[in-house]
């Protein structure tokens, strides 16, 4: 029971870090990255479909994405979906593929993105701390019921605190890397 609780808490913390990394991948940093289009949903015959399920996304140049749809009739729908997204890019189509040039970021926009990165990182830290709090609450309940001793509860709390600290360090490191990527001209 106790081991399951520890594993569950660690898995939840890992998921919080993975969500943060996915969020960071979708932030535009002046370089082309297929993850930028990950959240773009295309109206594919009346069904909202992720863009990566209607075509291939490639990066032929550092600041260009190319979407090659499997069905050429979906090109207008893909263009419309990209325009509707909050990416701030304009797709260009030649009838076969859609090219998206990623514009250079202004210094002001870089600072705004850095703030967004810090906000998302803080949300991830809060999520990790909430997981720790839930674990501690459940431990205290187990100790009250007599399922575990007070010494065992303290040991588990200390172990979880070390795990929490390591995940917070991972979040900080990931955040620092993303901020450097954004501020890089």
pLDDT digits (tens, 9 = 90+) for 70-92: 988 889 999 999 888 877 778 88
pTM above 0.75, yes or no: no
127 confidence band (pLDDT: 50, 70, 90): very high
Domain containing 162 equals 2-25+106-183
What's the total number of domains in the chain? Answer: 2
What CATH number is attached to the domain comprising 131?
1.10.132.20
What span, in angstroms and rounded, lies between the C-alpha atoms of 160 and 132? 7
Classify 102 as helix, strand or coil.
Answer: coil
What span, in angstroms and rounded, lies between the C-alpha atoms of 13 and 86? 29
- 119 and 161, same domain (yes or no): yes
């Amino acid at each position: 029971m106790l081991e399951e609780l520890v594993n569950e808490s660690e898995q939840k913390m890992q998921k919080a870090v993975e969500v943060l990394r996915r969020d960071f991948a979708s932030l535009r940093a002046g370089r082309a990255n297929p993850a930028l289009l990950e959240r773009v949903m295309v109206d594919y015959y009346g069904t909202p479909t992720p863009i990566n399920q209607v075509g291939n996304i490639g990066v032929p140049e550092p600041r260009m994405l190319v979407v090659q749809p499997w069905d050429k009739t979906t090109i207008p729908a893909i263009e419309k979906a990209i325009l509707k997204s909050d990416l701030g890019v304009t797709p260009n189509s030649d009838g076969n593929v859609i090219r998206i040039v990623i514009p250079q970021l202004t210094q002001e926009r870089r600072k705004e993105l850095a703030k967004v990165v810090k906000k998302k990182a803080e949300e991830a830290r809060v999520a990790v701390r909430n997981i720790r709090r839930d674990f501690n609450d459940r431990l205290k309940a187990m100790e009250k019921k007599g399922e575990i001793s007070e010494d065992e509860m303290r040991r588990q709390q200390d172990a979880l605190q070390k795990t929490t600290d390591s995940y917070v360090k991972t979040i900080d490191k990931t955040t620092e890397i993303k901020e450097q990527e954004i501020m890089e001209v």
